[in-house]
Amino acid sequence: MQVLSDSCDYLVVGTGSISQRHISNLRTIYPKSKIGNLSTSGKPLKHENNKVDFNFKSIEEAASKTKMFAIIASPASIHLENAEYFLNRNIPVLIEKPITNDSKKLKKFYEKFKSKKNLIDVGYNYRFSSTLNTFKKFLSNKKKNWKNIINQCECWSALIVMEKG
């Protein structure tokens, strides 16, 4: 990938609270890095994000100026579309949970990108949630399989009506 003086090391796609958390985490972990932000809603930003070095206006511009990886924290209904754009350009992605709200799209995405395992990761791991660990412990005491209880495509953050970013 061409190194540009106006390029960012890390890109965060989306402008909601989860995106802001990723930007904050990147600033903490990589304080000298350049961070870019991209709104995918199609709406003009009310104000530019002053916590980043670059506010990109298009996915094309953002992809052409991202050196390390992109964090996809846009609405769940367009996670795969955003991820696909970067993966087609061999830019690694971290896709925020839920990966999508459409299992049919997920199957097509998987078939197309299963060979790029080293470029894809999914954010948020429930094993660190104290609430869910307590619940898991409760269920294991009842000899139930807790993993089958949660359907990611039906959780609140996957619902289209809940999307803001």
Q: What is the pLDDT of residues 113-126, one digit of tens each?
A: 988 877 888 876 56
Q: Hunting for tokens 């619940």 — which residue is that? A: 135
The pLDDT, as a whole number, for residue 154 is 59
The pLDDT, as a whole number, for residue 44 is 58
**DSSP 8-state assignment for residue 11:** E
Amino acid making up residue 2:
Q
Alpha helices in the chain (DSSP H): 17-29, 59-64, 79-87, 103-113, 130-141
**DSSP 8-state assignment for residue 145:** -
Q: Hunting for tokens 């690694």 — which residue is that? A: 92
Domains and CATH numbers, the chain: 8-162 (3.40.50.720)
Question: Which residues lie closer than 8 Å to 25 by C-beta, 6 or more apart?
Answer: none
Q: What is the pLDDT of residues 13-72, one digit of tens each?
A: 998 888 888 999 999 999 999 999 999 876 656 556 778 999 998 999 999 999 999 999
The pLDDT, as a whole number, for residue 4 is 47
Q: What is the pLDDT of residues 146-165, one digit of tens each?
A: 455 555 555 655 555 555 54
Q: What is the pLDDT of residues 60-109, one digit of tens each?
A: 999 999 999 999 999 889 999 999 999 999 999 999 988 888 889 999 99
pTM of the model: 0.71
pLDDT surpassing 50 at residue 1: no
